[in-house]
Amino acid sequence: MIPDDPHERDVLAGEFVLGVLDRASSVAMLAALEIDADLRGRVEQWQNRLQPLAEAIPAVLPPGDLWRRIEAALPAERPKARDPRRATRSNDIWLWLFGSAAAASLSAALAMSILVVSPREPAEIAVLTAPRSLQAQFMVERQPGGGFVLTSLAGSSATAGHALELWALAPGAHRPISLGVIPSDGRLVFGNARFAPPAGTALLISLEPAKGSPTGQPTGPVLFQGQLVRSG
């Protein structure tokens, strides 16, 4: 659980930057950072506070061939020019750093796909958690061929006679659109190569009747939510 108390949030952020959290807590923290700007700010402040200590650690010459390895790994073309407004959005760096890192932590295969995809096209990913929870429940990721896939990370399922339904709510929009009812195995493929939800789109999972919402809008409680993040 991510605490509400500002003091407790600060302690957690400090422990995260220090690196003492175990891997499960770190991954959960990463998931929370994607949707919690206040927490991101606290992490950033801790990094600044402790930076002199990082600078105090003795420098060591890296292996002589390391630059050649880096150069060989660089993508052939220049990085895509970005909208400068995006670059000034303070949270982008954390969204990227922890967005992609969270993914890498959650699945090696997924990490590979991000590494492979990122030089050419931005990876898009969302980690869905229960409100105020640290536990990542679902992950949404753009597939290399286009479209998205939702996968269950923790085996959450609907109670008997109900179903979980996935929704997208674009920034500024008032009504979510349905992306489909989640099959019992927790895996749902949706969208295609042209389906391009804007960055910051919220993904929500609500509890619905067995065949999905009869109204085209969520009728039950929102159990899990996350935000779509671009890592490129």
Partner 1 sequence: MPSSDHATPEELVVACAKGDRKALKRLYDQESPRLFGLALRIVRQHSAAADAVQDAFLQIWLKAALFDPTRGSARAWMAGIVRYRALDTVKRNTREMLCNEPLHPEIAEDFDPLAALAANDDSTRLHACLEALEEPKRRAILLAFTDGLSHSEVADRIAAPLGTVKAWIRRGMISLKACVEQ
Instruction: Name residues whose C-beta falls within 8 Å of residue 163's C-beta, 6 or more positions apart in sequence.
Output: 181, 182, 207, 208, 209, 210, 211, 212
Least distance in angstroms from the C-beta of 201 to partner 1: 19
The vertex-224 CA angle with 6 and 216, nearest 5°, equals 135
Alpha carbons 129 and 194: distance in angstroms, whole number: 27
Closer CB to partner 1, 82 or 175, in the complex: 82
CB of residue 70 to partner 1, shortest distance in Å = 5
Among 87, 91, 98, 104, CA closest to 17: 98
In the bound state with partner 1, the residue whose beta carbon lies nearer, of 80 and 175, is: 80
Minimal distance in Å, beta carbon 195 to partner 1?
A: 24
According to DSSP, the β-strands at 188-190 and 202-209 are: unpaired
Q: Are 117 and 144 in contact (CB under 8 A)?
A: yes
* For partner 1, the closer CB: 101 or 170: 101
d(CA 167, CA 201): 10
Contact between residue 188 and residue 200 where contact means Cβ atoms under 8 Å apart: no
Q: Find the binder of partner 1 among 3, 96, 157, 222 (CB under 8 A).
A: 96
Q: Are 137 and 31 in contact (CB under 8 A)?
A: no
Asked if 109 touches partner 1 (CB under 8 A), the answer is no
- Of 4 and 71, the one with the shorter C-beta distance to partner 1 is 71
Sole window of 49-57, 131-139, 154-162, 201-209 interacting with partner 1 (rule: CB under 8 A): 49-57
| 227 interacts with partner 1 by CB under 8 A | no
51 binds partner 1 (CB under 8 A): yes
CB of 173 vs partner 1, minimal distance in Å = 25
Tell me if 6 contacts partner 1 by CB under 8 A: no
> Of residues 4, 22, 85, 211, which one binds partner 1 by CB under 8 A?
22
Q: Does 87 bind partner 1 (CB under 8 A)?
A: yes
- What kind and span of H or E run contains 113? helix 108-117
| Residue 104 token pair | 């890498």
Q: How many residues are given for the chain? A: 232
Q: Which is nearer to partner 1, 44 or 143 (CB)?
A: 44
Picking from 36, 34, 4, 30, the residue whose alpha carbon sits closest to that of residue 16 is 30
For residue 195, the 8-state DSSP code is: -
Among 37, 70, 193, 196, binds partner 1 (CB under 8 A): 70
Where on the chain is the footprint of partner 1 (CB under 8 A)?
Answer: 7, 10-11, 14-15, 18-23, 26, 44, 46-63, 66-67, 69-71, 73-75, 78-79, 81-82, 86-88, 90, 92-93, 96-97, 101, 104-105, 118-119, 232
